Amino acid sequence: MPIFEFECLDCGQNMEILIANSETDLVACGSCGGKNLKKLLSAHASVSPTGKFPENAADRCCGSGGPPSSCAGPGSCCGRA
């Protein structure tokens, strides 16, 4: 089962929930109980073709050890196309 990230549009609370994709309409806000939720696009971990995380820091995406001078922001893969 995937972890989904939601934002409550009633109170602004963000939450992560481990739930089946077919059950996302059953989720309610843990803070206010509201059902007016927006599913957010979450970052995911990626692994190299060898099945391991890249050892060279320059080959990792931002936020996980890439060189700060070349990073354009989280998920930018350090400015690489």
Predicted pLDDT at 3? 85
Shared domain for 58 and 30, answered yes or no, is no
Structural domain contains residue 66:
yes
Predicted pLDDT at 65? 45
Structural domain contains residue 20:
yes
Structural domain contains residue 45:
no
pTM attached to this predicted model: 0.52
pLDDT of 28 above 80: yes
Domain total for the chain? 2
Name which of 50, 49, 31, 27 is nearest 40 in CA terms: 27
Predicted pLDDT at 7? 94
Name which of 41, 15, 40, 45 is nearest 28 in CA terms: 15
Domain that holds residue 63: 52-81
Q: 34 pLDDT band (50/70/90 cuts)?
A: very high
